[in-house]
Amino acid sequence: MPNPIFDLAVTNIKGQQVELKDYQGKVLLIVNTASKCGFTPQYKGLEELYQKYKEQGLEILGFPCNQFGQQEQGNEGEISEFCQLNYGVSFPMFAKVDVNGPEASPLFKNLKQQKPGVLGSESIKWNFTKFLIGRDGKAILRAAPLTKPEALEAEIQQALAAK
């Protein structure tokens, strides 16, 4: 079983190193995102969840990815601007990553090992795959791109209630 994700570091959308241990004790919803995807309107649902639950300890972490249909071609500045202008995104966004293949981010490698997909497949199939992480850094669930953020509300409430 992989270690909790709190041992890892990632780069935020401004190019700064962020230690995931800074999120220890929070409930995380980690999502691979894209600006030109049919699921892009999910940014709105993600932001609504963030506004509703951030005071209770929810953090949503968005990781842009260009591996699916070349739907995230912009640079970090363009991605950040798009998210803020079109969806009012205020949750933390990170530098563009690969989620599959040899260059996959260590964070996504860890998440895929913790919560494999259908039939045990580890690869992420498309943008807006969501991983709900408990306060202990362990993955609670993996939700498919089709799953709207608001459909995870009961699981998020349950994770927030767990101490």
Identify the active-site residue in 31, 37, 61, 79.
37
Pair 33, 13: CB distance under 8 Å: no
Pair 6, 138: CB distance under 8 Å: no
- Asked about 37 being catalytic, the answer comes back as yes
Residue positions annotated with a catalytic role: 37
